[in-house]
Every structure is written in C-alpha cells, then in structure tokens.
C-alpha cells in the first residue's frame, strides 16, 4: 500500500534529495513541513522537481508551513493529515552561527524535536520516526572511527543541540515505544547545496582562480579530513532503512551501552579524504591548478573539529553502502555546478 510520509525541513538540502528519491522509486504521498528560512529554500524543490512529471508531483507532494519551535496545533495537524512515517531532517546546522547564537540551536534542535516527538505520539500505528543526527555528536577523533554506540561527546553548541535531540528521540522510544530509528550522517554534498559549504565554495573559488583556505591543525601542515557522502546516497540509505526487515535487524542489533534499544545507523561515505586532497581533485576536475593556503581554524575557532570519522561497517553488514566512489560523485557535482552556476555563486 502507498505510504504517507512527513518530511520536516523538506525544502532543505538533504531532505530535497530524499524527496527526489521517493518520487522516483515509490508511489508514496509526501508532506513537506518547513518554515522556509535560509535553509529551507523552495527554489531548491522547484529546481529538483523540473525533472519530474508535474501532474504526478501535484498529486503526491505538498508543502505545509510551520516552525517547529511551536507545538503542532490542531490546524497544522489537520493540514498534515494521516501519516505513516516521519523523517525529521529540520535542524539548525551551522557551527559558526551556533557558537554566536547557541539558544537558537537549542530552540530548533531540542525544543523543535520535542514538539515533533510529542506530535508523533498522537499518530496511531506510526510505522517509523527517523531522527537525522550527525557525526558531530561524537566529537573529534584523531585515529580510528566511532561506531553507532560510541559515547556522545559534542564539542560545540550545534552538535550539543543535535545530541540533545537524539537523546530525546531515544528516550521517547524507550518511554513511549515510538518506533524510532537514529541515523548519523557525515558531511553531505551534492547539487543545490548552500554556496557557503566547503565543496560548492571550492568549486566556485577554483573556477574564479581565487585562493582556497584549508582548515588545518595548529602547525598548518595537517588538513582536516572527512568521509564525504553525496545527498543521493544518503537518500538511498534512508530508503533502505525504511524497507529493512526488522525481524532480521533484531537478530544482529546490539542495544546501546546504556541499554537503550533504539536502533542507530551510521551513514558513511566510502572513503576518507582530507580537505586539501579534495580541493586538489576539484581543481583537477576543472583542469586548473589549485591556489590554496593552510590556516589554523582549529585553534582560532574553538568548537571546530579537525577530523570526524564514523564506521560504516554495521550498515554494510545489513547490505547497504554507497554505489559510487567519492571521486565519481565529486566529478558529477563539479560538472553539475559549472552548468548551474546560480547554485554556487554567493
């Protein structure tokens, strides 16, 4: 049967890739809940939907305006209608801004998540509530990688607020038996990302022969590194989780170190790359030399972490990993961005 899915932050960067995936591969009806601020951009949805049949879109996708800092009142709930699945992607996600305005992130990521969880409790026969967390809740790791059940050690207000939302989701699963899944996603990139983010910024600066500044350690010799992952691969992972055989999952899943049974999943790119290597490859894709400077962001900007790393072995054991290499995905995004310059221009 066709499912009815509520996606919060549906006009945001990651969520619009999830919507694209569902429109292409399911007959599900989708409600996008968004407050349409700097992160939620209807132009992003409009641009993506040009590749879909307009009649199909109009019958399956609708947008409801709401800011989750406020409870979902009766009118909003009625407007949303019946729901089988909730994907909670709405969040404040800018580390710099969280350092300057921490309460904004508490309101968005802790209070907002609680309001949505409270609404989820009212839904009869809810099939799944997926909370999109982040690798940053685990903090920095200089060697090795974190598993799904490593202790949370957030190091800035953004990651602390996401950790707070995650713990609330786990608590609602434990206390109220909400069918919660938690996903930890690493640095996501792809078409229509905000131009301030590292990869679109690098593409633009290389194109314009500008200097790319590389986040490094205090010796300015070791660049920061990440496991980058394409938005379409994140969407593919979420679709995989929504179709997971939960009886099979119970056989292989181990409860959290504190005894919480809420399943958690790391959604990770195939390979680690440091930001200098990445910038050089972006330049190579444009047949240009890279102009760059190493700068010590880590010491001058407290709360910024040099290296994040998650283990993707659990998802791999269940049968999912990205289908394409990082270099294939980067080349694809560079080519797309150069053909669609409005999305990388500031």
Q: Please say whether the beta carbons of 180 and 85 come within 8 A.
A: no
Compute the distance between CA of residue 230 and CA of residue 237 in angstroms, rounded to an integer.
Answer: 11
Q: Is 101 a catalytic residue?
A: no
158 is catalytic: yes
Residue pair 238/17 in contact (Cβ under 8 Å)? The answer is: no
Of the candidates 34, 84, 135, 305, the residue annotated as catalytic is 135
Q: Which two tokens stand for residue 18?
A: 């999830």
Cα→Cα distances 28→6, 19, 315, Å: 10, 10, 24
Catalytic residue among 119, 131, 158, 281: 158
Q: How far is CA 100 from CA 15, 137, 263, 295, in A?
A: 26, 19, 33, 21
330 touches 199 (CB < 8 A): yes
Q: Is 127 exposed, middle or buried (0-12, 13-18, 19+ CB in 10 A)?
A: middle
Contact 13, 229 (CB under 8 A): no
Annotated catalytic residue: which of 20, 84, 108, 136? Answer: 136
- Local structure of 312: helix, strand or coil: coil
Instruction: Show which residues are catalytic.
Output: 135-136, 158
């Amino acid at each position: 049967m066709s499912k009815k899915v509520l996606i919060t932050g549906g006009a945001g960067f990651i969520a619009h890739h999830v919507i694209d995936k569902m429109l292409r591969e399911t007959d599900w009806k989708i409600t996008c809940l968004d407050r349409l601020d700097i992160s939620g951009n209807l132009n992003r949805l409009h641009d993506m939907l040009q590749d879909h049949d307009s009649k199909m879109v109009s019958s399956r996708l609708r947008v409801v305006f709401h800011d989750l800092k406020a409870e979902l009142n009766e009118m909003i709930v009625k407007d949303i209608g019946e729901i089988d699945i909730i994907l909670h992607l709405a969040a404040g996600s800018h580390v710099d801004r969280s350092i300057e305005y921490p309460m904004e992130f508490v309101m968005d990521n802790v209070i907002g998540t609680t309001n949505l969880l409270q609404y989820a409790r009212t839904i009869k026969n809810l099939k799944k509530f997926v909370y999109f967390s982040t690798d940053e809740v685990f903090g920095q790791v200089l060697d090795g990688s974190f598993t799904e059940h490593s202790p949370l050690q957030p190091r800035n207000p953004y990651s602390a607020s996401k950790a707070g939302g995650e713990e609330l989701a786990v608590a609602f699963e434990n206390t109220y038996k909400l069918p919660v899944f938690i996903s930890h996603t690493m640095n996501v990139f792809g078409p229509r990302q905000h131009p301030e983010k590292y990869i679109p910024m690098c593409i633009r600066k290389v194109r314009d022969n500008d200097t790319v500044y590389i986040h490094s350690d205090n010796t300015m010799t070791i660049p920061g590194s990440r496991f980058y992952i394409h938005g379409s691969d994140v969407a593919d992972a979420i679709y995989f989780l929504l179709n997971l055989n939960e009886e099979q999952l119970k056989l292989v899943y181990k409860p959290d170190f504190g005894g919480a049974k809420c399943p958690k999943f790391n959604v990770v790119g195939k390979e680690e790359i440091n930001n200098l290597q990445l910038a050089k490859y972006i330049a190579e894709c444009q047949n240009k030399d890279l102009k760059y400077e190493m700068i010590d962001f880590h010491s001058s900007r407290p709360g910024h972490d040099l290296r994040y790393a998650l283990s993707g072995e659990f998802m791999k054991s269940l049968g999912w990993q990205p289908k394409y290499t990082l270099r294939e995905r980067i080349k694809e995004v560079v080519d797309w961005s150069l053909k669609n310059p409005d999305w990388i221009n500031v």
